[in-house]
Structures are given as structure tokens and as C-alpha cells.
Amino acid sequence: GNIGDGKTTSPKDDPHYHGTKSEALAEKAGTIIIP
């Protein structure tokens, strides 16, 4: 997901799509969450 604002455009555009800031932070930490 995009780390900057904690959101991405869509799962189609980002295989590691995250809809919330906490999920983006988890991605940054290396924990990939795919809904």
C-alpha cells in the first residue's frame, strides 16, 4: 500500500492493497496483509 497517506487507490493497482493507516504501517514494518 501507499505509506504516505495510509491508503491506496485500489487492490487492482496495488497487490499489497491496504485501506487503513494501521495496515500501511504494518506493510512498512514488513508484515504484508492481503485482505
- Cα–Cα–Cα angle for 14, 16, 21, nearest 5°? 100
Residue showing cell 492481503: 34
Over residues 1-32, the pLDDT tens digits come to: 445 455 555 555 666 555 666 666 666 766 66
What's at 19, amino acid-wise?
Answer: G
Q: Alpha carbon of 21 to those of 3, 11, 33: distances in Å?
A: 8, 15, 12
pLDDT of residue 1: 46
| Cβ-based neighbours of 35, under 8 Å, separated by 6 or more | 11, 17, 19
Q: Is the pTM above the cut of 0.85?
A: no
Going by the DSSP 8-state scheme, the letter that residue 13 receives in this structure is: T
